[in-house]
Structure 1
């Protein structure tokens, strides 16, 4: 019969092996995840927008950094980056883009109201959340300008939302917000602490963290750099470039007209054009570029077609860009009412300082104005000289240089990602995952369940053996016999 000590040792060893096998599977979901891609929709405060553009302030607002509009009065910030801990529910994600409000124009041309809100960040921990943002504002009355980074602007009312246990996408919908004391100060004194702001909605993609792979030493680095420099000089002499792209959103109000209640239409991208939310990218530029003269003559792939009610049918294709003497012109083949006109100059834009840096020559959000020919292309909807969406242009003259990334809006949130929440609550969170990498699947849980049964069996066996070992052992007839061998007479 086994001794009490050996029985316990065997049971403990078995328990340790089983627990060691089961615990990693059960805790795998709790690993911290990286936020990569997504959007934040927030109107800041609808009544403030109305005030700015109304008869009192007689102002306007404009978008910067690739921000877009969505719905009736919301701004969409893009390219989420940050981190998320499914175990604690801690969440931190920054977004790109900004909004610039101006109003109360003075005789000298400046604006008494001048406020920029950009780079919003959502931080959630311990059941509470705050929206931070960079803010540049002109104080009401004094005109003093303040520039503050990541101001805690608004508190999020997260009552009932459980951020734990999510994977991808993570979504929050219509979360109420209120102005903080710091936000009231940075808001140029237009509102006081506790003032309700517009609700916040967001959706971000997450992925498991991956350790960076150590790069192997490059023994031929010096030789490669010399070769690259020589090729670069030859390339610049020849006027060639590696790649190029032009980004242009046409005009924000035109897009809103097309998809709104009047236009009831849409736009369609083709031939390689890409949608960046607030802009369209025409890629695969080909042509010539002179870094010394800062000139460019290039054609791009892609087309966009706007269709809608009231016989709306307008297409831009075969986009070209010419830059010379500090000014650029974007042209395109225009198709309207079944007729195509080739190489129509649509807008002109500022093109100062178009020299390459680290292999990339770039213009970012250069102000653009409609040409007389462009006005005709729009059916005289806009007059010549009307401000259109800015133009961004990028040309790589080095094979190692990369074009700026398009705004990353992330994946669309799905109904399957909506979590369980209290019925009385309007705001909702969607930390539940719909993707295949969202933690333990059915197979994992089946394995855990099977392991649990084995574990229970092991525990039962342990107690049975312990009970038997506690009983007095029968006297052996032969001291030399094995402990469990049958006795013979």
Structure 2
């Protein structure tokens, strides 16, 4: 394993541990901010919501711009996560690429989620939400129980999520688990050989 990859994985492990133990204090101007990149966030919102959209509402989920959906109407993954780890407050803040468009002509709704953000100090996931021709920035969609592993973290949908997804019953309901992973850096390409070809056949 290359030294670069070992450093990247070591930093990811340290950040995940610190995030799990993180304080909620606001970062100070003098705090040492460690840049982070290459993270992915996977979250399905709520399985029953996905089922409702694609069956009863005869609607669709259309991910794009860096987002994707697992097969069989599965969870959504947002890529290109960048942000910082604050070594003073031990808070990880990340923003992700990708958009998710949700539409049902039968039930008459259409919305888009983009600019998903995760804050380990607040234990919160937010997104910009476009509905009815207007966009509201940084809408809190769920609270997150941050864990050391940063995978399969429990989520609870917010009141705002109930409004966004069209059911007051979602407010305070259990959401799908949320995972944040650091994608390993690819191994560097081998250097091309500089050995000169033989000019005479071997004896």
User: How does the TM-score come out when normalised to structure 1?
Assistant: 0.31
Q: CA separation of 1:270/1:226 partners in 2, compared to 1, >3 Å: closer, same or farther?
A: closer
Query: What corresponds to 1:273 in structure 2?
Result: 67
Larger RCO (CA within 8 A; separation ≥ 6):
2
Query: What corresponds to 1:302 in structure 2?
Result: 98
1:283 to 70, 79, 101: 79
Deviations 1:189-230 (A, max 9, x none): xxxxxxxxxxxxxxxxxxxxxxxxxxxxxxxx8xx6499659
Query: What corresponds to 2:163 in structure 1?
Result: 376
Question: Post-superposition shift, 1:352?
Answer: 2.5
Q: CA separation of 1:264/1:295 partners in 2, compared to 1, >3 Å: closer, same or farther?
A: same
Query: What corresponds to 2:123 in structure 1?
Result: 328
Deviations 1:33-86 (A, max 9, x none): xxxxxxxxxxxxxxxxxxxxxxxxxxxxxxxxxxxxxxxxxxxxxxxxxxxxxx
Partner secondary structure for residue 35 of structure 2: coil
Q: CA separation of 1:238/1:294 partners in 2, compared to 1, >3 Å: closer, same or farther?
A: closer
Partner secondary structure for residue 382 of structure 1: helix
Mapping for residues 306-317 of structure 1, pairs under 5 Å:
306-308=102-104, 309-317=106-114
Structure with bigger helix share is: 1
Q: CA separation of 1:239/1:275 partners in 2, compared to 1, >3 Å: closer, same or farther?
A: same
Q: CA separation of 1:227/1:238 partners in 2, compared to 1, >3 Å: closer, same or farther?
A: farther
Structure 2 unmatched ranges of 5 or more: 16-31, 188-203
Is 1:394 the counterpart of 2:188? The answer is no
Q: CA separation of 1:311/1:299 partners in 2, compared to 1, >3 Å: closer, same or farther?
A: same
Is the Cα contact below 8 Å between 2:37 and 2:80 reproduced in 1? no
Q: CA separation of 1:351/1:310 partners in 2, compared to 1, >3 Å: closer, same or farther?
A: same
Is the Cα contact below 8 Å between 2:84 and 2:93 reproduced in 1? yes
Question: Post-superposition shift, 1:330?
Answer: 0.8
Mapping for residues 70-219 of structure 1, pairs under 5 Å:
none
User: How does the TM-score come out when normalised to structure 2?
Assistant: 0.70
Q: Distance in 2 between matches of 1:281 and 1:228?
A: 25
Q: CA separation of 1:315/1:289 partners in 2, compared to 1, >3 Å: closer, same or farther?
A: same
Q: CA separation of 1:264/1:226 partners in 2, compared to 1, >3 Å: closer, same or farther?
A: closer
Is the Cα contact below 8 Å between 1:347 and 1:370 reproduced in 2? yes
Q: Distance in 2 between matches of 1:238 and 1:330?
A: 20
Partner secondary structure for residue 152 of structure 2: strand
Structure 1 unmatched ranges of 5 or more: 1-220, 354-361, 402-489
Is the Cα contact below 8 Å between 1:241 and 1:395 reproduced in 2? no
Deviations 1:392-441 (A, max 9, x none): 11235x7469xxxxxxxxxxxxxxxxxxxxxxxxxxxxxxxxxxxxxxxx
Deviations 1:282-338 (A, max 9, x none): 0000110247854211110111111111212121111111111xx621100111222
Deviations 1:422-479 (A, max 9, x none): xxxxxxxxxxxxxxxxxxxxxxxxxxxxxxxxxxxxxxxxxxxxxxxxxxxxxxxxxx
Is the Cα contact below 8 Å between 1:349 and 1:368 reproduced in 2? yes
Is the Cα contact below 8 Å between 1:258 and 1:264 reproduced in 2? yes
Q: Distance in 1 between matches of 2:144 and 2:41?
A: 12
Q: Distance in 1 between matches of 2:70 and 2:90?
A: 27
